[in-house]
Structure 1
Amino acid sequence: MSNKIKFGILGGGENSLIGGLHRIASSMFDQYKLVGGVFSSNHEDSIRFAKSIGLSSQRVYENIEDLIISELKLPENERMQVVSVLTPNFLHFHMAKLLIDSGFSVICEKPMTTTYEEAKILNRSLQKTKSIFAVTYTYTGYPMVRQMREMVISGALGKIQKVDAQYYQGWINPVIHDSEQRSSVWRLDPNQSGISCCVADIGTHALNMLEYVSGHQVKSVLSDLNFVYNDNKMDVDATILLRLNEGVKGVVCTSQIATGEENSFIVKIYGDKAGLKWEQENPNYLYFMEEGKPLQVLKPGHDYNSKLSLSSTKLPPGHPEGIFDAMGNIYNGVAKAIFKEDYNASEFPSMTDGLRGMSFIEKAVQSHHKGNIWVDLDE
């Protein structure tokens, strides 16, 4: 058998954007071989999809239980080593728990679970194994985001005093203003999505990014959520004030009703000497702002960047790298961990990041419903 990592996928079948993203990302460094999975809740659809991407139907299973039982019967050097969980939120916990307990490594879409309690149970299960667990906060894989992190660590900004993340989308507008649609889509159904839509979907990206690049942890939040209609139970817009360690203050503004916006994610970190700004829709530009000096624009692939940034860059300067490359860098980090190679812990988001994301969701919702008060995150 090939020495590539054999992996499977749960979900991500026909017409799935996220499925294509994961499959392409896994192939970038030539480290993985997709061998099977459960691509749809309908077994026939799953088999048809597998054939459409050139995959044998031999290891296309009816459900996760069938996958685990069948894979564990195979010789160790042939079975799946890692499984990517790309299903709707409410299935993440059950699937990830079964996989961890059966000895598989897991790459899980965010939010990691639908409740913080589930996340803590997953974490306890992981501690009993040697499995690797990654949560795909994809944007941490961009070369210039990693450069941003390294510049903060090196002291280029001085003492951090302000963090700011704005993540605006407009995709839910046609849904939210149609009473029939907003009562039928899974993202606005608490039974499938959890207690939050906007904060869980993109707010956790903002939290993770601010903590990743600043090196500081959010300690407490004060949130104001927007539901637009009284019969809608899920937030679609949020403004959240942050208090971080060492007296740092910040804000997260997220919206899925920002009319006309596509995927506008802007991250800003300000120190007492300089500031940094990065925009997801123009990911190759990192803006370095020093007091009293001209604006500097840093780009990937140049020798002035950090080792972490350069190791995440696949193309020469001037060639754009995007979301597939970012996800590919996360898959590559997981591969290094599975192969027990030396790797930087910041090369992929971990179970800890997933835990903090779930705590953030619950505390943000709690803050709003308690009258917009400060609520502490768990350590």
Structure 2
Amino acid sequence: MIGGGTGAFIGDAHRRASRICNDFQLIGGVFSKDFEKGKLFAAHEGLDTHRCYPDLNTFIEREMALSANERIEAVSIVTPNALHYQSASKLLKAGFHVICEKPMTVTVEEAEDLQKTVKKSGLSFALAHTYAGYPMVRQMRELVKSGILGNIHRVDAQYYQGWVNSMIQGTDSGIQGVWRLDPQHAGLSSCMGDIGVHAFHLIEYTTGLCVSRVLSDLSPVKDHIQLDLDGTVLLQLPHNIKGVIRSSQVTAGEENNLTIGIYGSKASLKWSQENPNFLYMLSDTEPTKVYKPAHEYNTQFAEASHMMPSGHPEGIYEALGNIYKGMAKSIRGEDTFDGEFPGVLDGVRGMKFIKNVVESNKEGNIWKEL
């Protein structure tokens, strides 16, 4: 693991997910830019501190000096965004499989270059769009693919959080040290780059369609903030399908309110991350249907994605665990379901979304081609 040491929520989530899927063992890594803190973390986790390294170059050099059956096979990158590209590129070129947090890079050019590196390496690469791991999101994807909705008319996704709101209601001091609000570490965007891109990925993942154009209206909310904290994005998809993404990090009281609705000529589907074990199908002619994990009426993909019997709720760790499970199958050369883990192409699409949303807003809220 690169990053993700003491106090890192995302690093902890990845460690739990890798354990839940029962296919990985944490061996070592670069857990902090402060080597002493990294070693303390490794000792706390019960790891061999000799497999804790001061930097990425040392990690690669010393691991590659080990025999093939001793060295680490796959690496999770859970650093701030600005370090994703250089870390992933070096690791792939050295022969390591990679699981990377999103967004994959901070520029489209980096994303496209990394896509070439993955292809050339022949190695497995997974992007941690965790919500694609939920069984009922996978059920939604398969139901849409089956044509049960008829012709899709509209797609509506929302991602609201409130964690930044209290920070910005005072002075600048409230945001000091929050790397997601710093362009040097976060990249072009905060809100759309952090959570809006998840909504974008869910739309493309579940519909199987690529967004063709975007028009955005973004806001930093406060003058002293450099990046967007709130915004709305209009979408155009093939077949004249319309869509919208509403995303905010300053909606007071909201926790992790990610929802998606796909509306068709025959029926519609709705799913919410805060109640992830329920997928609703709406119709003009029949009562609302409710799909839940661990039932034979689900598709094979959805049924392969739950970890507990019916009635036992699963959440974010299990969803990320499904991404890790798919990655493990890929590393072993086993057959995987279509869409079992997001890959480098999803990372390229995500960066094109972020770039064009930011440019649309800067250029006066105009349509931009993806």
Task: Give the structure-1-normalised TM-score.
Answer: 0.96
Give the aligned partner of residue 362 of structure 2: 369
Q: Given the alignment, which residue of 34, 50, 56 partners 1:64?
A: 56
SS for the counterpart of 1:316 is coil
Q: Deviations over 1:190-230 (max 9, x none)?
A: 11110100000001100000011111110000000011122
SS for the counterpart of 2:121 is coil
Distance 2:218 2:133 in 1: 29
Q: Aligned AA for 2:45?
A: I
SS for the counterpart of 2:25 is strand
Task: Within 5 Å, give how 1:45-56 maps onto structure 2.
Answer: 45-56=37-48
Give the aligned partner of residue 106 of structure 1: 98
Moved more, 119-128 or 68-77: 119-128
Distance 1:132 1:203 in 2: 26
Q: Given the alignment, which residue of 253, 256, 272 partners 1:260?
A: 253
Is structure 2 residue 72 aligned with structure 1 residue 80? yes
Unaligned runs of 5+ in 1: 1-8
Identity %: 49
Q: Deviations over 1:301-352 (max 9, x none)?
A: 0000000000001111111010000000000000000000011130100000
How much has 1:184 moved relative to structure 2? Answer: 4.5
Give the aligned partner of residue 179 of structure 1: 172
How much has 1:182 moved relative to structure 2? Answer: 3.3
Q: Deviations over 1:269-326 (max 9, x none)?
A: 0111000000100001100112221111111100000000000011111110100000
Q: Aligned AA for 1:230?
A: D
Q: Given the alignment, which residue of 111, 136, 142 partners 1:119?
A: 111
Is structure 2 residue 194 aligned with structure 1 residue 201? yes
Q: Aligned AA for 1:216?
A: L
Distance 1:304 1:343 in 2: 21
Give the aligned partner of residue 330 of structure 2: 337
Kept in 2, the 8 Å contact 1:13–1:40? The answer is: yes
Kept in 2, the 8 Å contact 1:186–1:192? The answer is: yes
Q: Given the alignment, which residue of 277, 280, 290 partners 1:287?
A: 280
How much has 1:359 moved relative to structure 2? Answer: 0.5
SS for the counterpart of 1:345 is coil
How much has 1:69 moved relative to structure 2? Answer: 0.4
Give the aligned partner of residue 5 of structure 1: none
Structure 1 runs, 4 residues or longer, greater than 4 Å off: none
Q: Given the alignment, which residue of 4, 9, 12 partners 2:4?
A: 12
Give the aligned partner of residue 147 of structure 1: 139
Give the aligned partner of residue 226 of structure 2: 233
Task: Within 5 Å, give how 1:273-312 maps onto structure 2.
Answer: 273-312=266-305
How much has 1:264 moved relative to structure 2? Answer: 0.4
Kept in 2, the 8 Å contact 1:25–1:328? The answer is: yes
Kept in 2, the 8 Å contact 1:183–1:232? The answer is: no
How much has 1:181 moved relative to structure 2? Answer: 2.6
Q: Given the alignment, which residue of 299, 320, 323 partners 1:327?
A: 320
Moved more, 286-295 or 350-359: 286-295
How much has 1:150 moved relative to structure 2? Answer: 0.5
Q: Aligned AA for 2:336?
A: Y
Q: Given the alignment, which residue of 294, 314, 318 partners 2:307?
A: 314
Give the aligned partner of residue 21 of structure 1: 13
SS for the counterpart of 2:228 is coil
How much has 1:115 moved relative to structure 2? Answer: 1.0
Q: Given the alignment, which residue of 157, 160, 166 partners 2:158?
A: 166
How much has 1:160 moved relative to structure 2? Answer: 1.1
Q: Deviations over 1:127-164 (max 9, x none)?
A: 21111111100000000000000000011111111101
